[in-house]
Amino acid sequence: MLKNQGKTLVLSVIILLLVAILLAVTNPDRESHHQAIKNKLTQKDAITNVLNRGILAVNPPSYHTVALVSYTKYEDKLATIGAMGYVWVNEKVFK
């Protein structure tokens, strides 16, 4: 019985390590976050798009990584979250 529990524990640790490595390797970089913001802004009307791009060029969001996930903050608000190659943009920050 103890052998099975030991094998289960080892297997669980290996799976957790593989997931952590996958998250770390696919963590989006700074440029991915900035590009996701630009893509989201182009979906808005032309005037809002131009104004937001100008503001972001002068004062870009700050990029932070926690090894497994990354995020950006803009004006002390969470602007984007990235994991596994995908970046989610918080549209409320850029209204």
**What are the beta bridge partners of residue 83?**
86
Q: Where are the alpha helices (DSSP H) in the chain?
A: 2-25, 30-42, 46-58
pLDDT in tens, 5-49: 878 899 999 999 999 999 999 999 999 999 999 888 887 777 777
Residue 71: how many other CB atoms lie within 10 Å: 21
Quick check: 50 pLDDT over 70?
yes
Quick check: 1 pLDDT over 70?
no
Structure confidence at residue 2 as a pLDDT band (50, 70, 90): low
- pTM of structure: 0.78
